[in-house]
Amino acid sequence: MNQPNTVTVKILDKDYQVACPPEQEAELVVSAKYLDKQMRSIRETGKVIGLERIAVMAALNISYELLQASEGGDGKLDIAPDPAPEAVTSLNRKLDDALYQLRQLEIG
Apex 31 CA angle, 28 and 35, nearest 5: 135
Burial (CB count within 10 angstroms: exposed 0-12, middle 13-18, buried 19+), residue 48: buried
* DSSP three-state, residue 17: strand
Contact in structure between 18 and 5 (CB atoms under 8 Å): no
* CATH number reported for the structural domain that contains residue 37 in this entry: 3.30.160.880
Q: Quick check: is 1 in a domain?
A: no
Our count of domains for the chain comes to 1
Structural domain contains residue 37: yes
pTM (two decimals): 0.61
Residue 65, in any domain of the structure: yes
Say if CB 2 and CB 10 are below 8 A apart.
no
Q: Structural domain of residue 80, as residue ranges?
A: 6-107
Predicted confidence (pLDDT) per residue in 42-64, tens digit? 999 888 888 889 999 999 999 99
pLDDT tens by residue, 74-108? 445 544 555 567 777 777 777 776 666 666 666 65
State phi, psi for 18 to the nearest 5 degrees: -125, 130
User: Is the residue at 83 inside a domain?
Assistant: yes
